[in-house]
Amino acid sequence: MSHVSLAFLASILAASCTILLGYPLHASCKTSLVFPGVTCDSVKTKLVNQINVWKGKDGCKVSTPELNEKCLYALVSSDSNVLKATHETPLHPYIDDVTFTFTTSGSDCNVEGNSRSRTWYAYLDFGTNYCNMNNLLTGSGLSTLVGFKETTSDDICTQYSSANCTRY
């Protein structure tokens, strides 16, 4: 079977799965976050600090069932409104692009989070793209702030409802 035929077949399969399962066409996750009474500079600083803490292989555990992906993050860029990072899975060398976009609304910080697999054929990810962001929020303590709110769903976040962020 030619590469063109395989690509076409993969496209049809992905489209069918999206209709049947309700996931995005590509392994990815979008989420909206609200941090009431917290500056976006503070949120961004905590995320950058957590990325730096988990930048090496030290936090990786690659033996099943002890798999842990709280490692191999890398800061790509950070400006006043956008933070870009990558996360590499320790078991296989897959890389996901992670972006947080910050908007101030009164005294609140609103953040649009996005994580997307670089692997062109990725469809299902066991919630990894959700966990890429959730782990940073949890590790930095941001998810425990009073009034913190997160909004996402399976139709914009691959396998969100079954994500296991203690593993991925």
Q: What is the pLDDT of residues 75-106, one digit of tens each?
A: 999 999 999 999 998 888 899 999 999 999 99
Residue 85: CB atoms within 10 Å: 26
CATH architecture of 3-162: 2-Layer Sandwich (3.30)
- Residue type, position 26, single letter: H
b/e code 2-30 from CB counts within 10 Å (16+ = b): eeeeeeeeeeeebeeebeeeebbebbbbb
Query: pTM for this one?
Result: 0.85
Euclidean distance between CA atoms 160 and 125, whole angstroms: 10
- Mean pLDDT across the chain: 88
CA–CA distance, 148 with 126 (Å, rounded to integer): 24
Model confidence at 9, pLDDT cuts 50, 70, 90, reads low
- The candidate with the shortest Cα–Cα distance to 157, out of 119, 120, 121, 131, is 131
